[in-house]
Amino acid sequence: MVIARPVRVALFFGLLIGGFLIIQAFRSGPTISFPPDKRPPVRKGADGVDPNWEPTGEPAGKLVHADDSYAADNPNAPRANATLLALVRNEEVDDMVESMKDLERTWNSKFNYPWTFFNDVPFTSDFKRKTQAVTKAKCYYEIIPKEHWAVPSWIDKSLFDESAKILEENDIQYGAMVSYHQMCRWNSGLFYKHPALANTRWYWRVEPKVHFFCDVDYDVFKYMEDNNKTYGFTINLFDAPQSIPTLWPETERFMAAHPEYIDKNNAMEWLIDRQRRPAHNQKAQGYSTCHFWSNFEVADMNFWRSQRYQEYFDHLDRAGGFFYERWGDAPVHSIALGLFEDKSKIHWFRDIGYQHIPFFNCPNSPKCKGCQTGTLTDGEDFLYLEDCRWNWFKYVGKG
């Protein structure tokens, strides 16, 4: 049978359009259909249903799963050159133990990576006894060198006191607490210089009083190493712009002096977006305030040890904002990664269920229990406005 030419043309374009739509559907990933009475809510500030409602499995790429070779007493275990890392005080031991129990139950009991604890004073025998009892892996207890913890000589105390009053007036938490500023500075640019970490490449930061909800059956450090990743996060938030008013201007000064350090595949758009929270961008003088919440981070210390990062940290350190403002390690790390690293090397661990009050990362997975799927917070609804993952998804993706 001969088909008329107009019909053939119509069929051709119909097949073309159909093929295009099929390709687009595969590219955009799985679409979830919910009954009208069970459709998850679209929260304030969100671009749609939280992607944590999507069925979540292990990440794509090369994965190494646990076997008997990961035994704690095997000196030839295939573990990466890595440690679990915690900055913690003696009086926080019970909260630290609870965090350890969660992570050991869901992950580390299968891989037996060592724990390294840091404090600015010696750890007590009680702290050592309670923490070592939670894990078969080795535990190390380290004191931070005084020169790494002390307030730098170029910080003017009277100016700090005056600045602390301004931070308090702006309701900036811990603004007047010297030790908090010291902690932020140490976490930003000094922890990886500790002699105990000199020969270690990877770390997973763990804080007291956090929770882990999902069984993870692959070696997270080997995933990072084998898939060319630099940094992994779970939660991505906006910061309080009143705490960092000059962080971005100082960053711009550094960029102007060192344009060669800016990666061609950077995440600049995520850093300077002004559409979602324009007031934040304005108060932070051009910075969106988006940052990875660094109480959870899995990262390659070789990035922090690089010349580009070390020079950036030194520039910020000399500017004084760790004390005259409240520059945290979260925005400092995030800005550096967003500018100086290939954004494809930054990974959202959507499969790792995690909570640091008041925020969650809770995926839709049969491996998770104890958290509510797709819930960012169990606090007030306004906290959903602090979610900056949507900007990350927009400018970078969900990988």
Just list the catalytic residues.
297
DSSP reduced 3-state for 297: strand
**How far apart, in whole angstroms, are the C-alpha atoms of residue 330 and residue 325?**
14
Helices (H), the chain: 5-27, 93-103, 109-111, 125-132, 146-149, 157-169, 178-189, 220-226, 247-257, 268-272, 278-283, 301-304, 307-319, 321-324, 329-340, 389-395
DSSP reduced 3-state for 234: coil
Centre a 10 Å sphere on the Cβ of residue 148 and count the other Cβ atoms it contains. Answer: 16
DSSP reduced 3-state for 371: coil
Token code pair at residue 167: 């931070």
Sign of CA dihedral 70, 75, 80, 85: positive
Q: Which residues pair with 360 in a beta bridge?
A: 355
Overall residue count recorded for the chain in this entry:
399
Nearest CA-CA partner of 346 in 303, 289, 305, 390: 303
DSSP symbols for 355-369: EETTEEE--B-TTB-
**How far apart, in whole angstroms, are the C-alpha atoms of residue 168 and residue 399?**
38
Centre a 10 Å sphere on the Cβ of residue 379 and count the other Cβ atoms it contains. Answer: 12
Residue 29: exposure state from Cβ atoms within 10 A (0-12, 13-18, ≥19): exposed
Verify cis geometry, omega within 30 degrees of 0, for the bond prior to 358.
yes
Nearest CA-CA partner of 271 in 286, 283, 259: 286
Query: 26 CB contacts (<8 Å, ≥6 apart)?
Result: none
Sign of CA dihedral 305, 308, 309, 314: positive
